[in-house]
Amino acid sequence: MAGILLLLYAQPLTKIAALQTTDIIDTPSGLRLALGKEPVPLPAPFAELVEEHLTHRPNLRTSAGTTSAWLCPGYRPGTHLHPNTLMDRLRSLGVDLLGARNTAIRALVTEVPPPLVAEMLGYSYAVAHRHAAIAADPYARYAATRRQSDDKSPPAEQKKMKVIIARRRLELSPDQYAET
């Protein structure tokens, strides 16, 4: 479940671990998740997984019983699962946490205006705009490079341009854009 929220909504694990069952809102149009100012919709295949998680949450055999308000109940009564536990589980599955978050938010800001992404997911406007600029940068560089190159250039020049573009894309690795 934590992996879904990380990959769909670019949520930090500290926020995922601290979600409560009341943050999942059942509306006539489907499930919504309260992450920012407005609850975001959960797409159909993932909404079913979240519903399944709600009905079969782990760690409910503690003295707190089924009354835990946490979406990811911890091992001790009344606590949520520690973010490091989620981190360890996702890493053991081969998930690059920072890369996944950066990729998710960059994909979202290419489809939805950055201010809306910021409000719905609880990010600052600056972070959303920074990711939008980074997501658009490879295309802007490509367009600038493409204008400089004439389509009638010899094949060796075209190959050289492709190598330059590929190198520039590699410069934009997610590791360089760590967030706080």
Residues 6+ apart with CB under 8 A from 122: 11, 15, 35, 36, 37
At 178 the pLDDT is 41
Q: Contact 10/94 with Cβ under 8 angstroms?
A: no
Residues 6+ apart with CB under 8 A from 86: 2, 13, 16, 17, 72
Amino acid identity of 171? E
Alpha helix locations (H) across 25-96?
Answer: 44-55, 83-92
Mean pLDDT of 120-145: 78
- What confidence category does residue 160 fall into, taking pLDDT thresholds of 50, 70 and 90? low
The tens digit of pLDDT for each residue in 84-117 reads 999 999 999 999 988 898 999 999 998 889 999 9
Percent of the chain with pLDDT over 70: 71
Q: Is the pTM of this model over 0.85?
A: no
Of 40-54, 101-115, 133-147, the poorest mean pLDDT is in 133-147
Of 19 and 174, the one with more pLDDT: 19
